[in-house]
Structure 1
Amino acid sequence: MKPTPILIAATGILVLGAVSVAAQQHEHAPMPTDDRQQLDFPEPMRKHMLMNMRSHFEALGDILAALGEGDGPKASRVARERLGLESPAAAACVKPAKRTGSEEDHMTHMASMMSQVMPEEMRAIGYAMHESASDFAAEAAKMQPGGDPKPALKALAKVTENCAACHSAYRLR
């Protein structure tokens, strides 16, 4: 049976009506609330923190690529140098009271300022992320070429769990 112009027009009207009803229902649907703690860092600190988080994300990508190639030592090196406790990225998450003079000398001015304004709970999650990255680096270093990546991946999951915990609790303004 060939569609007639009336059938085509009626179908069009029904589709438009359904879209209109759906749009009206969507307009009245309650917006989900964002219960995360909003952080109002000064703009230079905000930019620095966002840059650090993007760098962390890129490091995770490089780690996964290395693991995908079966190169545990490379994944370990990336984690140690870019995410671990000894990396420059960890500086803001180390409590000022725990730093030695030489550690303070290696901190950037921005990381030092951030460590003073970052909420204590956020710093603790950040420290746990950097600590788990160091643990991952140790596990990945054990991986032989073509070896089983499961222990390293299990350790890497703890890194991303900490990332998710922080992003679930805090947001930057």
Structure 2
Amino acid sequence: MRKIMYAAAALALAAAGTAVAEDHHDHMEMMSKMVKDARIEVDVPGPMKAKMLANMRGHQEAVAEILAALGKGDGAAAAKIADARLGANSPGAAACRPDAKSGAQGDMPMMMASHMPDEMRALGMTMHMQATKFAEEAAKVKQGGDLRPALAELGQVVQACNACHAAYRLD
């Protein structure tokens, strides 16, 4: 009789736990529907969206490589990565440049710029210009030298990325 009572109690607890978990899941789903993403939607055609997302992932990869170089104390390598892949004159900066809409940077940057709000492009250019400042600071770091000034500049690069991602999202 005791075994039956224990089994019944265990079954009741399991059922109650399942019900609580389902209620929690339903509650979380309802909350996610109630919380609206307040970022500005940027309507970009599919292939261009893929290109923009690939550019941004490339920026993330560059930051990771920069951090790895700084971790080794190699400011010169970090500077080279930043300048080539994130800096104001890097290919990824072309759509953010002030003259991008004119076609001066090429067809793809012009098309991308035509879909980006001016404020979004300005935030992007801020990131690229800050990356150039970082590259200049990182180039000064000698093996075993003080990384703090370079890291402070790199922090500004990431903050510029965060500001854009907080304000905009691709549709």
TM-score, normalised to structure 1's length?
Answer: 0.87
Match of 1:39 in 2: 42
| Residue aligning to 2:86 | 83
Q: Compared with structure 1, are the counterparts of its residues 65 and 8 closer, same or farther at alpha carbon in structure 2 (3 Å cutoff)?
A: farther
Give the equivalent residue in structure 1 for 2:151.
Answer: 153
Q: What is the CA–CA distance in structure 1 between the aligned matches of 2:14 and 2:146, rounded to whole Å?
A: 54
Aligned residues: percent identity? 48
Q: Please state how far the C-alpha of 1:12 moved relative to its aligned partner.
A: 4.3
Q: Work out the number of aligned pairs and report it.
A: 166
Query: Shift in Å at residue 7 of structure 1?
Result: 2.9
Q: Is 1:60 matched with 2:59?
A: no
Q: Which runs of 5+ in 1 are unaligned?
A: none
Q: Is the 8 A contact 1:85 1:130 kept in 2?
A: yes
SS in 1 for 2:31: coil
Deviation at 1:110, TM superposition (A): 0.9
Aligned ranges 1:2-151 → 2 under 5 Å: 4=3, 6-7=5-6, 9-28=8-27, 29-31=30-32, 32-96=35-99, 104=104, 107-151=105-149
CA RMSD in angstroms, aligned pairs only:
2.2
Give the TM-score taking structure 2 as reference length. 0.88
**Pair 1:8–1:148, CA change in 2 (3 A):** farther
Residue 97 of structure 1 deviates from its aligned partner by: 7.6
DSSP 3-state at the match of 1:38: strand
Deviation at 1:159, TM superposition (A): 0.5
Distance across 1 between alignment mates of 2:161 and 2:100: 24
CA contact (8 A) 1:96 1:115 kept: no
Structure 2 alignment gaps of length 5 or more: none
